[in-house]
Structure 1
Amino acid sequence: MGLWQWVLDNWALVWTYLYVGIDVVLRLISLVVVPRNRRPGSALAWLLAIMVLPIVGFPLFLLLGRSQLPKRRLAKQKAVNRLLRVRAHEIPDSELDEDAPSWLQSAVQLNRELGAFPLTGNNSAELEIDYETSIARMAEDIRTARESVHVLFYIMGLDEVTEDFFEALAERADAGVTVRVLYDHWGAVSHRAVYRAMREKLDAHGIQHAPMMPIRLFRDGAFQRPDLRNHRKMVIVDGEIGWMGSQNLIAAHYDKPANIRRGLHWQETMARFRGPIVSELNLLFASDWYYESDEMLDEQTLVRPSPDTSGTYECQLVPSGPGFVEENNLLLFNQLFYSATRRIVAVSPYFVPDESMLSALITAARRGVEVELFVSEIGDQFLVFHAQRSYYSTLLDAGVKIWLYRAPTILHAKHVTIDDSVSVIGSSNMDMRSFLLQMECSLMVGGTDFMEKMREVEHTYRSRSRQLTREEWESRPRTMQVIDNLCRLASSVV
């Protein structure tokens, strides 16, 4: 009783000692825990946050400091990866053209080792950069379905632009076609009204659907970081037609009043494929479907000889995400950047590279490779936009041409071309979220005809952009420089 009374009488002193004790303990623990299996830049950023304010920084680290899945979910992902490798053997390998550069074979081998999928030949592809036209064309393809339709998008919602797409799904489901739909939990539910309308439409027609990476902090018996997301975008019809790229299934203004008032809208690039590569897309969808529903789809319905092998493109799918041992997309980009001999064109809405990617691009520019980077003139995400800007000085000094896609459009397309040899298109940004925290889908495509199509897209984007000059960049306000650099530091906390 006497001790308790003393504590009550001296509560301010006790509280001070307790706070200081917790402060010291958290700082010491962080020195041991934070650097474990973590990139030096990320570890330093977390340590700085914790040292400045341990009471806030350390709980945030516990919440957001692990990019890995819980053990039970990681074991499931590893099982999926093993299954992908087995099933991918049913897809015939293709040989590169004789005139392909020698380094491209190394990239193919790297992708096969990381993501399991082989290089496939005899594919055909089309590109679509008009936002509403791509949705209309996907709906048109869905209406041809005889057996199955598989749909996966990070963000999905039923609005005036996507209404016909969902009507096409409903029509085929009512006709007895198997329709399966996956959408990222946070990506979709954050657009509440159109998300609810979508779910009601799917349920009304008996369409199977499931949220990906649902936000349940202690799912699978362990804590799971809430911002691990599935960022892929795919549509597969009968295992014969495949769509993939950067576009979400929602109106170009994302149904946000603030975007509508500002006239803000998104610019995308989508690709439509036919040929053996569609089986790889179907397999990747099946892995995500099993991951969320526990239903293993029949291999015979996923991998089948393509009825259309008239194409000339070699294609290889490269999945990535927290369930893989390596950052597959980052390793692929770096391999290609170091291999380039003449030209690199990179289009990325969120360009916040790690040290290895920044070094690869600067090295390429310094050794005489023409390097162009397309980004948006304005940003929709404050932290990422300003972190991205902090790299412009270094890039400009190295001779990189930076193209700013004019406002009020957000250039959301994601693709890369290397020399005249290979293109990569998909859902992956060039930032640490896409490398570490998000499940992504990238597709490497060889073929001069496809490169010509990519060059046309690049030319269109260049005509809608303006080049950032060194003089303009150096004259920006000092306050903006400070904000950019602070956001760059914060972006390292992954």
Structure 2
Amino acid sequence: MITFTIEATWWLVLVSVFDLTVRIAAIIIVPRNRRPTAAMAWLLAIYFIPLIGVFLFLLIGNPRLPRARRKKQDQINTYIHDTSESLDFGTLRPHAPAWFRSLVTLNRNLGAMPLAGDNAAELISDYQGSLDAMAAAIREAERYVHVEFYILQTDAATDDFFHALEEVAARGVVVRVLLDHWANRGKPFYKKTIRRLDAMGAQWRLMLPVQPFKGKYQRPDLRNHRKLLVVDGRVAFTGSQNVTDSTYNLKKNIKRGLHWVDMMVRIQGPVVASVNAVFLSDWYSETDETLRDEIDLFDVASGPGDLDCQIIPSGPGFEFQNNLKLFAGLLYAAQERVIVVSPYFVPDEALLLAITTACQRGVHVELFVSEEGDQALVYHAQRSYYESLLRAGVKIWMYQRPFILHSKSMTIDDEVAIVGSSNMDMRSFGLNLEISMLVRGEEFITQMRSVEAEYRALSRELTLEEWEKQPLRSTVLDNLARLTSALQ
């Protein structure tokens, strides 16, 4: 009996020492180079559920890509910045406001891409229409086609897109394809898609593969969320839409009648080189091939327009959160109105302060979100911000079910816009590789206003009076989800 008590006491001492060691180590390790809210969330998880908390922190606590991949990104940035320093990227529009020039400098310093003039950009807000437009552009290819999408599936909606790739590949055009590993594995038609790419002779790679037995591993919830297409360096597409059916071919979506609403941009002009540079950087990261001897990245030609455009790549391969810094800067620069479209709006403190401060400065601010949520945790985290946004004066439009408004854009006053793949949530700021395009030009804003009006007509306004009637259970769920959103 005495022996048992002594053994139990020693076990208790060992467990206590281990527990104390973990807590002290967590205080030292967790907050380093991490936002206070994220650090506090991790510490709470480790303190209250130590075994699970430590396991999760070791699994997904580091939001950065492996060192080798970050080094590749640095090499690419240096090459792009130095090579493009003295090149002519078209004539820029006159009388740019000082704040616009400073944000262009910010983007250049963080993401290396130059501002380019003489571009044309056509918005395509019809889902099938954008797939058809991309297929038509592919069929015009003479040298190469670069395809990079978060989700890429061959199905009834995308069949012509794949047929176009097969046609150009058959006549000797080089087809290179990148698709995110985790987003596509196990999804409907994944194996069929891979077989079709193999059959046409496409050169394809999985992005951010989690294949430890093949020596390929990084934090498993990092994603390459970019969507882009480049044809011969002349025409490019980018935006929010994946290459898949508007239901994503998922049974749960089909059962609920959900369809995704997206927006793509068809681009011509010198800025196409920057879109191509993003593809080539991701290709290099996955293959170690630079393709410099094959593709003259900066052999650019003027487009049929005079828009100023700049591409902003962002993600864990960069030292800073390039997209978050740009979004916050635009909100502080706005003088008249801001219209934000974001399916997943989970801002950090800086972005929330920027958008509420804009209202308090007298700027008219509108936010478009979906009435229906497809991801429960993000949906409830987003809802937790509605009250503070409404009280600040933000006008919230809820795109009515059963549609998921998946477009991502922001317009500032009547002169500047940003479109791309990036949501305004902590995942897109810290964990996803994204691509955004900054555009200056009234012609493009006119197109944006037309799409925004279309969204407004299909939405209903959420009022503070309605929101205050939310049941307690919804408030509890929203607040719990808000706490988990900081775990990066």
| Same topology, TM > 0.5 | yes
Provide the residue aligned with 1:216 in structure 2: 211
Alpha-carbon separation, structure 2, partners of 1:398 and 1:332? 22
Q: Could you tell me how far apart the structure 1 residues matched to 2:376 and 2:191 are?
A: 28
Structure 1 segment 203-352 matched on structure 2, within 5 A: 203-216=198-211, 224-298=218-292, 301-352=295-346
Q: Secondary structure at the match of 1:301?
A: coil
Q: Comparing 20-29 with 428-437, which one deviates more in the overlay?
A: 20-29
Is 1:78 the counterpart of 2:81? The answer is no
Post-superposition CA distance 1:178-207 (Å, at most 9, x none) = 11000011111141x311111100111211
Deviation at 1:314, TM superposition (A): 0.6
- Tell me which of 471, 475, 483 is aligned to 1:477: 471
**Shift in CA distance, 303/209, structure 1 to aligned 2, threshold 3 Å:** same
Cα separation, partners in 2 of 1:17 and 1:159, compared to 1, 3 Å: farther
1:201 aligned residue (193, 196, 199): 196
Q: Is the 8 A contact 2:368 2:396 kept in 1?
A: yes
3-state SS, counterpart of residue 476 of structure 1 = coil
Separation in 2 of the partners of 1:273 and 1:487? Answer: 38
- Rounded Cα–Cα distance in structure 2 between residues aligned with 1:368 and 1:293: 50
The amino acid across from 1:120 in the alignment is A
Deviations 1:103-140 (CA, angstroms, capped at 9, x unpaired) = 11111111111111111111111111111111111011
Structure 1 residue identity aligned to 2:185: V
Listed one character per residue, the Cα deviations across residues 219-268 of structure 1 (whole Å, up to 9, x for unaligned) are 879x7211111110000011101000000111110110111011011000
- Could you tell me which runs of 5 or more consecutive residues in structure 1 were left unpaired when the two chains were aligned: none
Cα deviation code 1:48-85 (max 9, x no counterpart): 11111111101111111111122222222222222222
Distance 1:8 1:251, change over 3 A: farther
CA–CA separation in structure 2 for the residues paired with 1:109 and 1:219: 40
Is the Cα–Cα contact under 8 Å of residues 320 and 328 in structure 1 kept in the other structure? yes
Alignment of 1:126 with 2:136, yes or no, is no
Aligned to 1:159: 155
SS in 2 for 1:318: strand
Q: Structure 1 residues 219 and 491, CA, compared in 2 at 3 Å: closer, same or farther? A: farther
Which of 37, 52, 55 lines up with 1:56 in the alignment? 52
* Cα distance in 2 between the residues matched to 1:7 and 1:150: 71
State whether residues 212 and 230 of structure 1, in contact with CA within 8 Å, keep that contact through their aligned partners in structure 2.
yes
Q: Mean alpha-carbon deviation: is it higher for 412-421 or for 98-107?
A: 98-107
CA contact (8 A) 1:373 1:402 kept: yes
Give the aligned residue type for 1:492: A
- Indicate the RMSD between aligned Cα atoms, in angstroms: 2.0
- Higher mean alpha-carbon deviation, 209-218 vs 278-287, is at 209-218
Counterpart of 1:110, as a letter, is L
- Contact preservation (8 Å) 1:321, 1:327: yes
Residues 93-132 of structure 1: matches in 2 within 5 Å?
A: 93-94=89-90, 96-132=92-128
**Contact 1:91/1:118, CA 8 A, preserved across alignment:** no
The TM-score normalised by the length of structure 2 is 0.96
1:382 to 368, 372, 376: 376
Counterparts in 2 of 1:469 and 1:14: CA distance versus 1, 3 Å: same
Q: For residues 156-181 of structure 1, what are the alpha-carbon distances to aligned partners after superposition, in whole Å with 9 as ceiling and x for unaligned? A: 11111111111111111111001100
1:392 aligns with 2:386: yes
TM-score by length of 1: 0.95
Q: Which among 185, 200, 203 is matched to residue 181 of structure 2?
A: 185
In 2, the alpha carbon distance for the partners of 1:118 and 1:219 equals 37
Q: Verify the 8 A CA contact 2:92 2:118 in the aligned structure 1.
A: no
Q: CA-to-partner distance for each residue in 1:85-111, whole Å, 9 max, x for gaps?
A: 234337524564334322111111111
For the residues of structure 2 that align with 1:470 and 1:24, how far apart are their CA atoms?
46
Aligned to 1:427: 421
Is 2:34 aligned against 1:32?
no
Relative distance call for 1:94 and 1:366 in structure 2 (3 A) is: farther
Q: Is the 8 A contact 1:88 1:280 kept in 2?
A: no
Pick closer, same or farther for the CA change 1:22–1:313 going to 2, 3 Å: same
Partner of 1:486: 480
Shift of 1:308: 4.7
Match of 1:443 among 429, 434, 437: 437
Hey, what's the Cα distance between the residues in 2 that align with 1:399 and 1:302? 49
Inter-partner Cα distance in structure 1 for 2:203 and 2:294:
20
Q: Secondary structure at the match of 1:276?
A: coil
Match of 1:454 among 448, 451, 456: 448
| 1:216 alignment partner AA | Q
C-alpha contact (below 8 Å) 1:349/1:412 kept by paired residues: yes
Aligned residue pair count: 488
Relative distance call for 1:27 and 1:97 in structure 2 (3 A) is same
1:11: how far off? 6.9
Determine if contact 1:283/1:302 at 8 Å carries over to the other structure. no
Unaligned runs of 5+ in 2: none
1:303 Cα deviation from its structure 2 partner:
2.4
Distance in 2, matches of 1:376 and 1:91, equals: 43
Contact preservation (8 Å) 2:91, 2:118: no
Identity of aligned residues (%): 50
Amino acid at match of 1:105: R
CA contact (8 A) 2:93 2:306 kept: no
Q: Which residue of 1 aligns with 2:458?
A: 464
SS where residue 312 of structure 2 aligns?
strand
Contact 1:153 1:183 in 2 (8 A): yes
